Amino acid sequence: MPSVKHIAVTDLRLSYGPKEVIHGVTFNVFKNEILGVIGPAQSGKTSLLRCINRTIEFTPGARVQGTIQVDGEDVRQAGDVFALRRRIGMVAPLPVGLPLSIYDNVAFAPRCAGMSRRSELDAIVEQCLRQAALWDEVKDRLDSLGTKLSGGQQQRLTIARALSHQPEILCLDEFSIAIDPVTTMRIEDVLKNLRQQMTIILVTNLTQQARRLADRTMFLWSGKIVELDRTEVIFSDQPASRQTYEYVNGIFG
């Protein structure tokens, strides 16, 4: 079980205008763990991820209080927000492909970071597509448009893109919402392997996905943490909270 603190969130509160939607949450994420985040719609799961990589700042009127530290540094004090976001990859529920070739989708971020040698770009494109379990399916057509791939392939391309800036933290927000169960399982295998290299926060509306993948699972409900514990405890007959038991057993939510 990993135990080095990677992310420390302390008394985090988030309001959109006058409405507070995260009500003072405190938790740690350990290096190289997969932290599952489950909870009903509108619990604040997506908002929580957006606070961590500071994309919440794109929403006018959003107000964050409390602290979020990555490796002991307060993300809100980070001078270079772009550098921070490169450290924290984000995969959205639906694939967000750039209208570019498969190759250029993955090479986009490295090029923005100044990489221009073709051999270096080739190497990183291949590595990321391999890590995302897509290489074998696309290696012969890297020049074709990414948007022409199937939904599941595009989602893996999105993961390859998130990996292309070599993040140390990968946040996934309901990545399997639009893909079939077989592709979902393939991506789950990808995540199991990636865990050796990075810390993963997995927001999922599929409680069984958290059960399969997460080392620890957080049950978030209406902007509060009901329970955070080892996944086997959360899914046991006796989690600490009755609400957790009822949610993971489909009695509500």
List of residues contacting ligand ATP (CB under 6 A): 16, 21, 39, 41-47, 59, 205
Using a 10 angstrom Cβ sphere, with 0-12 exposed, 13-18 middle and 19 or more buried, the burial of residue 149 is: buried
**Sites for Mg ion among residues 15-54 (CB under 5 A):** 45-46
Give the count of residues interacting with Mg ion (CB under 5 A). Answer: 2
Q: Are 205 and 177 in contact (CB under 8 A)?
A: yes
Instruction: Report the nearest approach of Mg ion to the CB of residue 243 (Å).
Output: 19
30 phi, psi to nearest 5 deg: -90, 155
Looking at the Cβ atoms of 41 and 182, the one nearer to ligand ATP is 41
Instruction: Report the nearest approach of ligand ATP to the CB of residue 18 (Å).
Output: 10
Start-to-end CA span in the chain (Å):
30
Instruction: Report the nearest approach of Mg ion to the CB of residue 209 (Å).
Output: 14
Looking at the Cβ atoms of 45 and 86, the one nearer to Mg ion is 45
Helix boundaries (H) for the chain: 45-52, 81-87, 102-112, 118-131, 135-138, 151-164, 181-194, 207-213, 231-234, 242-248
Looking at the Cβ atoms of 46 and 199, the one nearer to ligand ATP is 46
Looking at the Cβ atoms of 147 and 205, the one nearer to ligand ATP is 205
Residue 41 binds which one of Mg ion, ligand ATP, none, with CB within 5 to 8 A depending on kind? ligand ATP
Instruction: Report the nearest approach of ligand ATP to the CB of residue 47 (Å).
Output: 3
Tell me the sheet residues that pair with 199.
169
As a dihedral over the C-alpha atoms of residue 68, residue 156, residue 133, residue 171, rounded to 10 degrees, the angle is: 10
- The contacts of residue 95 (CB under 8 Å, 6+ apart) are 151, 154, 155, 157, 158, 178
Looking at the Cβ atoms of 17 and 151, the one nearer to ligand ATP is 17
Instruction: Report the nearest approach of ligand ATP to the CB of residue 5 (Å).
Output: 24
Where does this chain bind Mg ion (CB under 5 A)? 45-46
